[in-house]
Amino acid sequence: MPLVNMKDMLDHAYTHGYAVGAFDLVGLDFLEAIVSGAERARAPVILSLAESHFAHFNFELAMPAVEAAARRARVPVAIHLDHGASMESAVKAIRLGANGVMVDTSHLSIFDNIAATRVLVETARACGVCVEGELGYVPGVEGEDAERHPGPVQYTTLAEARAFAERTGVDCLAVSIGTVHGRMKGKPRLDWGRLKEINMALGLPLVIHGGTGLSDDQFRKLITLGVAKINYYTALADVAGDTIHAAARAGARGYTALLADVRTAVAAEVERCLRVWGAAGRAAEVLDRCRPWLNVEHLVVYNAPNLDEVRLRALMAEGQRVLSAIPGVREVTVGSAAEEGVPYRHCWLIRFSAPEVIESYKQHPDHVDFAGRLFRPAAADRLTTDFRIADLAAGATALPLTGVPLQPPPLSNSRNGWSLVDKPSAA
Ligand SMILES: [Zn+2]
């Protein structure tokens, strides 16, 4: 099944009165377990990666696996950067495949938090990516994540929430109403009145950080008051830890023996949560109603008759460096024809995270400068087009199985073939 647009997923949950789980993953075991738990519940799910956990795994190495797991999952999935440390982190996460981002500026003053979040929203929106803001402060008490969130709780106030949502344009908002990061001490007391007022004033999907330790009834009540995304990690880490302790007590020693039951245990907890939160059984609806998250390939084929090999390679290297850094650009591939006698000798293949990037890329000052100053003067003879990547696996069941040629027709190499998609206005 395809990745789906995260804003659409959260809007669906908000409108239909359930919450999507955003489970922080800290390795392949968690990744497989979260997807497996969601599949068993037939629930949409958010694969969440918290920057504070990047000490435990390599984010750049992990993301291709996260994306692959999402694309082959049997339920709709979104990929989210949780508690990003900076704008650069958000842009990097989008490049690596995230379609939702949160940069934690909740420790700043309300004015600075609004200003920083607004810049993030502008950048992310140009990439089609969903933004979560956070207002108020959710502290840590104890447990694996607690020490990363020092200090006392600061409740989100109604007036600040209203101003923040209006001025930033965030797609969803994390609020502080009495939950804590990590494990609770004692029975958590939640400020229901505050949550109700914020929900009524904003009409936006709300997010709860620090889901661990709440009762099923508390979860249900949170959801009736507008919570559509629940961040949940500590309980999964505890379940995994307990499983490893139990294996050790039973005599297991080696790495794989100690970890043998972790996936099953974490998947069971994920499934249990998704059932309590009302997300179970929603996968088909979400797929039906939410836009699929499909990358776009921006293809440029060109000739540069006046450049020698050295200058051509310099042009390619400069383009790769400059264009790769534009938000929403996932990859820039350059190349030259493998055969002689073709109408175009060279190509750029630039992968955008989403269709929104077609416009924002075109207007980005770094692209305008590179195209106008270096590329277009050297490559007047060129063709450009944007291809939306087809997700054939997702649509396969809808296709008739008879009458479909086993081999696609050969691609035309002729100039007429390319000219069908000729849009020479941009590089
Ligand atoms: Zn959090």
CA atoms within 13 A of residue 23's CA, in its CB half-sphere: 30
Find the 172 Cα to ligand 1 centroid distance in Å.
Answer: 14
Find the 13 Cα to ligand 1 centroid distance in Å.
Answer: 20
**Is the model's pLDDT at 65 over the cut of 50?**
yes
Find the 351 Cα to ligand 1 centroid distance in Å.
Answer: 31
Give the integer Cα–Cα distance in Å for 2 and 331.
20
Rounded mean pLDDT of 197-213?
Answer: 94
The model's pLDDT over 88-107, given as tens digits with 9 standing for 90+, comes to: 999 999 999 999 999 999 88
Give the integer Cα–Cα distance in Å for 171 and 78.
14
The pLDDT score that the predictor gives to residue 1 is 58
Give the integer Cα–Cα distance in Å for 10 and 13.
5
pLDDT confidence tier of residue 138, bands split at 50, 70 and 90: confident
**Which of 11-20, 176-185, 285-294, 392-401 is the least confident region?**
392-401
- Mean pLDDT computed over every residue of the chain: 90
**Is the model's pLDDT at 203 over the cut of 90?**
yes
Give the integer Cα–Cα distance in Å for 15 and 12.
5
- E strand or H helix at 302, and its extent? strand 296-303
The pLDDT score that the predictor gives to residue 210 is 86
The model's pLDDT over 352-366, given as tens digits with 9 standing for 90+, comes to: 999 999 999 999 999
**Is the model's pLDDT at 25 over the cut of 70?**
yes
Ion ligand 1 residues within 5 Å by Cβ: 209
**Is the model's pLDDT at 130 over the cut of 60?**
yes
- Whether residue 304 contacts residue 319, with contact meaning beta carbons closer than 8 Å, is answered with no
Find the 99 Cα to ligand 1 centroid distance in Å.
Answer: 18
Find the 104 Cα to ligand 1 centroid distance in Å.
Answer: 9
**Is the model's pLDDT at 266 over the cut of 50?**
yes
The pLDDT score that the predictor gives to residue 393 is 60
The pLDDT score that the predictor gives to residue 408 is 39
178-182, 269-273, 390-394: which is most confident: 269-273
Rounded mean pLDDT of 219-226?
Answer: 97
Give the integer Cα–Cα distance in Å for 258 and 336.
50
**Is the model's pLDDT at 154 over the cut of 90?**
no
The pLDDT score that the predictor gives to residue 188 is 77
Rounded mean pLDDT of 341-345?
Answer: 96
**Is the model's pLDDT at 74 over the cut of 70?**
yes
Collect all residues with Cβ–Cβ distance below 8 Å to 2 and sequence separation of at least 6.
71, 76, 287, 292, 293, 294, 391, 394
* Tokens of residue 274, six digits: 């998704």
Q: Which percentage of the chain shows pLDDT scores above 70? A: 89
Rounded mean pLDDT of 170-183?
Answer: 89
User: Which residues are known to be catalytic?
Assistant: 82
Which residue has better confidence, 350 or 211? 350
**Is the model's pLDDT at 295 over the cut of 80?**
yes
Find the 235 Cα to ligand 1 centroid distance in Å.
Answer: 14
Find the 359 Cα to ligand 1 centroid distance in Å.
Answer: 33
Q: Which amino acid belongs to residue 365?
A: P
Find the 83 Cα to ligand 1 centroid distance in Å.
Answer: 6
Which residue has better confidence, 186 or 51? 51
Task: Give the chain's radius of gyration (CA, Å).
Answer: 24
pLDDT confidence tier of residue 417, bands split at 50, 70 and 90: very low
Rounded mean pLDDT of 280-290?
Answer: 96
The model's pLDDT over 380-402, given as tens digits with 9 standing for 90+, comes to: 999 999 998 887 665 433 333 33
Q: Which percentage of the chain shows pLDDT scores above 90? A: 81
pLDDT confidence tier of residue 19, bands split at 50, 70 and 90: very high
The pLDDT score that the predictor gives to residue 279 is 98
